[in-house]
């Protein structure tokens, strides 16, 4: 039997990167997938990714009202919601645009934009889905980052937003457990993953050269693949992780094991 048979999963940021890898994997494991993203994916393409009963919705995760309608549409489509993956996120870099985030020069606009998508988007997702999951239980998996645990002077807004996601994950987990609801909430903390966030379209690799340039600081000496993050998310969302809540799982090629930069 597939690990997510008869489960309904809502996955944000599902048009590319980790979100798309998770959507494909969850569908292959039997879930009915409702994917959302600002980036449009047509119905035929989405069904090719996730099967004939998959649904894709345009969705800005910072839009409070849209969250309510997305959860409502997903519940009507699947009959229930068992899983939420909060995968949507930004690091403040878009194409050739990379506004500074160093502590002495960062602008409030970039700080607010990154935190609004990453931290507030996660908050809104959890807040919207918890009432739907209260009666039958469910699993929420958020994407934090290894940047939540280590200083990153070049991306201070990003690191702060992902630290907020990790702390909020633990608070949601404790709140749901102490309320007697069978809702688990966990996070994964990826390191550098080969997605458009690391190498946006139109932007050169981090250090030029081949696709793995810039990965020398990773003990494994390579970028991770989106599927390598989606698989731990599958575990945390599945019944195999029934006694795990409030955890932050590093998926970082060993970066967290380093004692010094």
pLDDT digits (tens, 9 = 90+) for 208-253: 444 555 688 899 999 999 999 999 999 999 999 999 999 999 999 9
Region 117-129: mean pLDDT is 98
| Backbone torsion region of residue 52, taken as left when φ is above 0, otherwise alpha when ψ lies between -120 and 50, otherwise beta | alpha
Mean pLDDT of 137-145: 98
Which segment, 18-22, 94-98, 205-209, is predicted with the most confidence on average? 18-22
Domain 8-257's class? alpha beta
CB 20 within 8 A of CB 226: yes
Judged against a pLDDT cut of 50, whether residue 204 lies above it is answered with no
Query: What is the pLDDT, as a whole number, of residue 197?
Result: 78
Q: What is the pTM of this model?
A: 0.93
Please tell me which residue in 158, 168, 175, 243 is annotated as part of the active site.
Answer: 158
Better-predicted residue by pLDDT, 208 or 6 = 6
153-156 contacts: CB < 8 A, separation 24 or more? 153/102, 153/103, 154/101, 154/102, 155/91, 155/92, 155/101, 156/101, 156/102, 156/103, 156/106, 156/111
Residue bearing the bigger pLDDT, 145 or 203: 145
pLDDT at 94: 80
Q: How confident is the model at residue 199 (pLDDT cuts 50, 70, 90)?
A: low
pLDDT(43) > 60: yes
For residues 105-115, average pLDDT: 97
Q: For residues 260 and 86, which has the higher predicted lDDT (pLDDT)?
A: 86
For residue 133, pLDDT beyond 60:
yes
The yes-or-no answer on residue 175 being catalytic is no
- What is the pLDDT confidence band of residue 207, given thresholds at 50, 70 and 90? very low
Q: What is the pLDDT of residue 132?
A: 97
């Amino acid at each position: 039997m597939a690990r997510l048979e008869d489960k309904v999963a809502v996955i944000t940021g599902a048009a590319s990167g980790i979100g798309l890898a998770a959507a494909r994997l969850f569908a292959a494991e039997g879930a009915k997938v409702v994917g959302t993203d600002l980036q449009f994916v047509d119905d035929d393409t989405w069904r090719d990714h996730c099967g004939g009963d998959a649904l894709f919705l345009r969705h800005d995760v910072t839009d409070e009202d849209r969250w309510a309608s997305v959860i409502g549409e997903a519940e009507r489509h699947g009959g229930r919601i068992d899983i939420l993956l909060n995968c949507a996120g930004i690091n403040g870099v878009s194409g050739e645009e990379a506004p500074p985030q160093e502590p002495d020069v960062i602008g409030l606009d970039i700080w607010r934009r990154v935190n609004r998508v990453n931290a507030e988007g996660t908050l809104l997702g959890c807040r919207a889905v918890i009432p739907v999951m209260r009666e039958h239980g469910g699993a929420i998996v958020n994407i934090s980052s290894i940047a939540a645990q280590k200083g990153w002077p070049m991306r201070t807004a990003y690191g702060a937003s992902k630290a907020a996601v990790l702390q909020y994950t633990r608070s949601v987990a404790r709140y749901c457990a102490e309320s007697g609801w069978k809702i688990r909430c966990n996070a994964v903390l990826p390191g550098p993953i080969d997605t458009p966030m690391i190498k946006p379209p139109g932007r050169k690799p981090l250090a030029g050269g081949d696709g793995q340039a810039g990965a020398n600081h990773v003990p494994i000496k390579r970028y991770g693949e989106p599927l390598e993050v989606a698989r731990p998310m599958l575990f945390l969302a599945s019944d195999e992780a029934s006694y795990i809540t409030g955890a932050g799982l590093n998926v970082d090629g060993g970066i967290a094991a380093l004692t010094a930069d």
